[in-house]
């Protein structure tokens, strides 16, 4: 796994986000508009030409491969291309996950037309992806080191209507490098999908202790 470090301050990251987030939001609006537009075919052809011109202008300077997950000097992750939370990824709803002192992770997100499976309902794969992200974040933050999904079990209790959903995850225990986590996705009437995960901190990663030491050393260097 790539642990690229970038030397960016909090202010520099905020300045980048101020430009990037509105751009991504515009592309999300474009995705929704393309799904739901009822304008004539000639207008669709014209739209395609203009979109292709914008795409060509962005390709003028392009990162090879994917965005990756750079870490700042204080070890804050920048998963900006992530399919669930990426602030540069218009496919991501995006999920904004809050971590709480009691170890739970929560998020509220609006799932519109782009996330449809059965008519008017959230696609089951999207629910699984969002729950997977919640499990991964709860496990990783609790453990202090990134945890990958080893086993994910998803139970669909009833259909989830498109619209606002709430997600919540909490760790229920750990054993060596395995962290056990549960999560649920709820509509206004309660849980519609639940998930259980066995999240594993891969053997080749630095341990939580090593990461804590690296963090402290980096912070000390920075203060000096």
Ligand X SMILES: CCCCC/C=C\C/C=C\C/C=C\C/C=C\CCCC(=O)SCCNC(=O)CCNC(=O)[C@H](O)C(C)(C)COP(=O)(O)OP(=O)(O)OC[C@H]1O[C@@H](n2cnc3c(N)ncnc32)[C@H](O)[C@@H]1OP(=O)(O)O
Q: Which is nearer to ligand X, 162 or 179 (by Cβ)?
A: 179
In this structure, what DSSP letter does residue 155 have? E
198 binds ligand X (CB under 6 A): yes
81 binds ligand X (CB under 6 A): no
Distance, CA of 102 to CA of 123 (rounded, Å): 31
Q: Are 88 and 80 in contact (CB under 8 A)?
A: yes
Cβ 76 to ligand X shortest distance, Å: 9
Residues paired with 109 in a beta bridge: 165
Number of helical H runs and strand E runs in the chain: 4, 8
- What are the distances in angstroms from CA 83 to CA 49, 86, 91, 130, 152? 27, 6, 6, 9, 17
Among 81, 122, 132, 165, which residue sits at the site for ligand X (rule: CB under 6 A)?
Answer: 132
Token pair belonging to 95 = 């999920």
Point out the residue whose Cβ comes nearest to ligand X.
136
212 binds ligand X (CB under 6 A): no
Cβ 66 to ligand X shortest distance, Å: 13
Token pair belonging to 69 = 């997950």
141 binds ligand X (CB under 6 A): yes
Please tell me the count of residues contacting ligand X according to CB under 6 A. 26
Q: Mask of contacts with ligand X, 144-173, x by CB under 6 A?
A: xxx-xxxx----------------------
80 binds ligand X (CB under 6 A): no
- What are the distances in angstroms from CA 171 to CA 92, 99, 134, 148, 185? 24, 12, 10, 14, 15
Cβ 175 to ligand X shortest distance, Å: 6
75 binds ligand X (CB under 6 A): yes
Q: Which spans of this chain sit near ligand X (rule: CB under 6 A)?
A: 3, 71, 75, 77, 132-133, 136-137, 140-141, 144-146, 148-151, 175-178, 198, 200, 202-203, 211
């Amino acid at each position: 796994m790539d642990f690229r470090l970038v030397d960016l301050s909090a202010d520099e990251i905020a300045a980048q986000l101020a430009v990037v987030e509105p751009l991504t939001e515009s592309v999300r609006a474009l995705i929704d508009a393309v799904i739901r537009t009822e304008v004539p075919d000639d207008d669709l052809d014209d739209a395609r030409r203009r979109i292709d011109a914008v795409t060509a202008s962005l390709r003028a300077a392009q990162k090879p491969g994917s965005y990756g997950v750079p870490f700042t000097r204080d070890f804050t992750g920048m998963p900006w291309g992530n399919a669930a939370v990426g602030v540069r990824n218009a496919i991501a709803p995006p999920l904004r996950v809050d971590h709480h002192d009691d170890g739970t992770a929560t998020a509220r997100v609006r799932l519109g037309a782009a996330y449809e499976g059965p008519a008017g309902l959230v696609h089951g794969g999207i629910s699984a992806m969002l729950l997977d992200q919640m499990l991964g974040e709860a496990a990783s933050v609790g453990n202090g080191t990134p945890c990958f999904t080893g086993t994910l079990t998803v139970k669909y209790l009833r259909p989830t209507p498109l619209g606002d959903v709430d997600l919540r995850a909490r760790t229920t225990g750990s054993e060596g490098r395995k962290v056990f986590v549960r999560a649920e996705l709820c509509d206004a009437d309660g849980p519609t999908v639940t998930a259980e995960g066995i999240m594993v901190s891969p053997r080749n990663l630095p341990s939580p202790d090593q990461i804590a030491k690296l963090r402290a050393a980096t912070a000390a260097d920075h203060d000096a």
